[in-house]
């Protein structure tokens, strides 16, 4: 049933997949990581994908735990408008391998069973992100396809998005376009030979917004996203945060391109469940 719905719609919504204690454990651990963070680099996670510039701190984060800031939390002079804990946009991108709390969650046998049921024969856990969607300053993430950033031939990137708090339109829930995974990729984000990263335009049509629907879900929900499914999340201008944890899985049977932005050192190879 899940596979048929997933192949038709490009996403699944599985409520009560994560119990409240597991949600609380990830929220608590993320808080501990933030309290232990001493920034010597301020890397802003821009929510305007078309103007993203990738700094080395970002490009070298595929096998590390690093912290990225909200655009609206940083003043023009580089100072913080809010306390540090209110200014973090996300933590990425190897929590699932480097932190024991997140690793245990990410390698729950039920996740391996779910991914296998969707037809990914040789799953590899590629990246993880803890997303805060801070009250009042949580930034918009514009419409995109995950395959743009995690390119394999053929496409295999699959997102697992876990609501650790209730997600509503007011605090920036996900929006998806059912069936939109049949759309071709519009662009590819990759490393440039001389350093940095940029987008390669493949199709100059904008991703269609008609038919986008909000996924308002309670905490504990797992949303599965096809790598080609257009989706976005609005800004959070409410006083309520919308914390979430995401994993992206690829199939080892597919070719992961060597100029993808996310790369790992041989010391920390990709692993499955």
In-domain check, residue 264: no
Domain count of the chain?
1
Q: Which pLDDT score, from 0 to 100, does residue 51 have?
A: 39
Q: Can you tell me the distance from the alpha carbon of 45 to that of 133, in angstroms, rounded to the nearest whole number?
A: 12
Q: Which pLDDT score, from 0 to 100, does residue 256 have?
A: 98
For residue 41, pLDDT beyond 90: no
Q: Which pLDDT score, from 0 to 100, does residue 55 have?
A: 83
In-domain check, residue 263: no
Of the chain, the percentage scoring pLDDT greater than 70 comes to: 94
Nearest to 164 by CA among 12, 11, 30: 30
For residue 40, pLDDT beyond 90: no
Contact yes or no for 53/78 (Cβ under 8 A): no
Q: Which pLDDT score, from 0 to 100, does residue 175 have?
A: 98
Q: Which pLDDT score, from 0 to 100, does residue 11 have?
A: 98
Q: Which has the minimum average pLDDT: 37-41, 51-55, 256-260?
A: 51-55
In-domain check, residue 267: no
Of the chain, the percentage scoring pLDDT greater than 90 comes to: 82
Number of Cα atoms under 13 Å in the Cβ half of residue 236: 26
Q: Region 32-44: what's the mean pLDDT?
A: 78
Q: Region 205-225: what's the mean pLDDT?
A: 95
For residue 107, pLDDT beyond 70: yes
Q: Region 66-94: what's the mean pLDDT?
A: 88
Reported as a pLDDT band with limits 50, 70 and 90, residue 136 is very high
Q: Which pLDDT score, from 0 to 100, does residue 81 have?
A: 86
Q: Region 241-254: what's the mean pLDDT?
A: 98
Q: Can you tell me the distance from the alpha carbon of 73 to that of 227, in angstroms, rounded to the nearest whole number?
A: 30
In-domain check, residue 272: no
What contacts 24+ positions apart, CB below 8 Å, involve 30-37? 30/91, 30/130, 30/132, 30/243, 31/85, 33/65, 33/91, 33/99, 34/67, 34/84, 34/85, 34/88, 34/91, 35/85, 37/67, 37/84, 37/88
Helix/strand/coil for 31? helix
In-domain check, residue 212: yes
Q: Region 226-248: what's the mean pLDDT?
A: 97
The boundaries of the domain holding residue 30 are 2-256
Q: Can you tell me the distance from the alpha carbon of 236 to that of 216, in angstroms, rounded to the nearest whole number?
A: 14
Q: Region 90-107: what's the mean pLDDT?
A: 98
- In the block, which residue shows the tokens 């070298």? 60
> Residue 79 is part of a domain; what is its CATH number?
2.60.120.620
User: For the stretch 112-146, what's the b/e string if a residue is b when 16 or more beta carbons lie within 10 angstroms of its beta carbon?
Assistant: bebbeebebeebbbbbbbbbbbbbbbbbebebbbb
For residue 44, pLDDT beyond 60: no
Helices 2-9 & 109-117, crossing angle to 10 degrees? 60
pLDDT digits (tens, 9 = 90+) for 140-175: 999 999 999 999 999 999 999 999 999 999 999 999
Strands (E), the chain: 11-14, 65-69, 88-93, 123-131, 141-144, 152-153, 158-163, 174-176, 187-191, 197-201, 213-215, 222-226, 231-233, 244-251, 255-256
In-domain check, residue 271: no
Q: Is the pTM of this model over 0.85?
A: yes
In-domain check, residue 269: no
Q: Which pLDDT score, from 0 to 100, does residue 43 have?
A: 54
Q: Which pLDDT score, from 0 to 100, does residue 46 have?
A: 57
Q: Region 175-181: what's the mean pLDDT?
A: 97
Q: Which pLDDT score, from 0 to 100, does residue 39 have?
A: 77
Q: Region 231-241: what's the mean pLDDT?
A: 96
Helix/strand/coil for 92? strand
Q: Which pLDDT score, from 0 to 100, does residue 54 have?
A: 61
In-domain check, residue 273: no
Tell which wins on pLDDT, 42 or 7.
Answer: 7
């Amino acid at each position: 049933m899940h596979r048929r719905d997933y192949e038709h719609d490009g996403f699944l919504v599985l409520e009560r997949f994560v119990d409240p204690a597991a949600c609380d454990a990830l929220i608590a651990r993320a808080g501990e990581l933030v309290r232990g963070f001493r920034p010597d680099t301020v890397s802003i996670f821009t929510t305007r994908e078309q103007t993203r510039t990738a700094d080395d701190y970002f490009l070298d984060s595929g096998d590390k735990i690093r912290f990225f800031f909200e655009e609206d939390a940083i003043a023009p002079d580089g100072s913080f408008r809010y306390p540090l804990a209110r200014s973090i946009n996300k933590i990425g991108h190897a929590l699932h391998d480097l932190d024991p709390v997140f690793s245990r969650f990410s390698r729950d046998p039920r996740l391996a069973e779910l991914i296998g049921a969707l037809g990914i024969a040789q799953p590899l856990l590629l990246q993880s992100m803890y997303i805060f969607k801070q009250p009042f300053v949580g930034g918009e993430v514009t419409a995109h396809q995950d395959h743009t950033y995690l390119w394999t031939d053929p496409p295999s990137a699959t997102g697992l998005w876990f609501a650790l708090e209730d997600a509503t339109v007011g605090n920036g829930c996900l929006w998806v376009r059912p069936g939109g995974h049949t759309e071709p990729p519009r662009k590819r984000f990759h490393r440039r030979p001389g350093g940095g990263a940029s987008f390669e335009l493949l199709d100059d049509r904008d991703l269609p917004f008609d038919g986008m629907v909000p996924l308002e879900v309670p905490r504990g929900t797992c949303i599965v996203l096809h790598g080609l499914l257009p989706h976005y999340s609005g800004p959070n201008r409410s006083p309520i945060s919308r914390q979430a944890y995401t994993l992206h899985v690829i199939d080892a049977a597919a070719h992961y391109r060597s100029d993808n932005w996310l790369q790992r050192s041989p010391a920390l190879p990709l692993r499955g469940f």
